[in-house]
Amino acid sequence: MTDALSLVDDWGPEKIVVVSHRRTGMKGVLVIDNTARGTGKGGTRMSPTVTVGEVARLARVMTWKWAGVDLFYGGAKAGIVADPVSRDKEAILRAFARALSNEVPREYVMGLDMGLTECDAAIIQDELGDRGAAVGTPEHLGGIAYDKLGVTGYGVAEATDSAAQSLGMPLAGARVAIQGFGAVGAAAAARYAELGATVVAVSTAHGGLHDPSGLDVPAVLAAREEHGDAFVNRFSQGAVIDAGQELTVDCDVLVPAALQDVIDVEKAHRIKAKLVVEGANLPTSPQAQEILARRGVTVLPDFVANAGGVVAAAFAMDARYSGFRPETPTIFDTISSRLRANAVAVLEEAKRRNTTPHTAGRGLAEERVRTAMRSKGRLPLG
């Protein structure tokens, strides 16, 4: 069991709230990491394995992600210990929202993460009687359809294109392998194809597909739409590979866009890509990052590469009490300009400091948070 006090460092967390409800069996946690730059904002996840340590780790990622794209919200995250397919899901979700009514939305605004849907965000708003309590609601309630629009995956591809150009490796014609073909991976694949890249491998929990000459991305997307994750076993093009093998196929760009902690020391020695773009949160261990750096492999950090969803969430935050939905072209234009500029800034800072992009990007984000903390009198005197 995690000792909550052991999680506290110079940055946070500012608040850890553990809640429960006997009748529904609800158990959950909210971690508000750092609000020097604004209200705590981060997704709420539901899983039987949620832990305080996991949520705290993800809340810290949000602190760096908001600062990294220079948007004025703070790092926070919430988790509910429950099965998202449970028939009691709505009752548990409502109990969780009620238990956090002191914090939501004044200190934390709920959003979507693993296990929650757009309708769940609407339920949170309904339970607390406040449109400001959550973002990620359905379009017909004024929300931004993150997954339908593919904002995170689009941003991953835009950041990749900018990083590749900075490295002297044009994305057009480059071979890309994608781990995870959910909302992020699928949208990224579609944008990679538009940018002229060749997608040579994709994967789901059911396995992967690999074709060195390039997969037919529109056909793959259509098969996913028809068959879900199992499409990999029904698709006629390419060889079926075991899940995990896509990380080590011969390619120029590798995009881990599924789970955290998938690239460890062993995998780091076997990766053939020249550029790793972190579409998922925390997919590469610190030790693996060092190994990849020594091998000359550039890793574009998650808080830079997958911040497209964060940019879209900022628009949603502004629109919570508005009668007008944000314009979709404006959202995409902002994602592109922000992520492209940040990718180059982080890689140039890493080169200047002779360090990894993670360390360089984290340094830039830390300075922004530190400056805000100093301005608000949150740092020790002296």
Any idea which residues carry the catalytic annotation? 77
* Rounded CA separation 200/96 (Å): 43
Q: Do β-strands 108-109 and 40-41 pair in parallel, antiparallel, or remain unpaired? A: parallel
Q: Do β-strands 175-179 and 253-256 pair in parallel, antiparallel, or remain unpaired? A: parallel
CA dihedral 146, 107, 36, 10 (to 10 degrees): -100
* Rounded CA separation 91/222 (Å): 35
Q: How far apart are the first and last CA of the chain?
A: 36
* Rounded CA separation 338/167 (Å): 18
- CB-CB neighbours of 59 under 10 Å: 29
The amino acid at residue 191 is R
CA 40 to chain CA mean position, Å: 16
Question: H or E segment at 155?
Answer: helix 151-166
* Rounded CA separation 107/81 (Å): 21
210 phi, psi to nearest 5 deg: -140, 125
Q: Do β-strands 253-256 and 275-277 pair in parallel, antiparallel, or remain unpaired? A: parallel
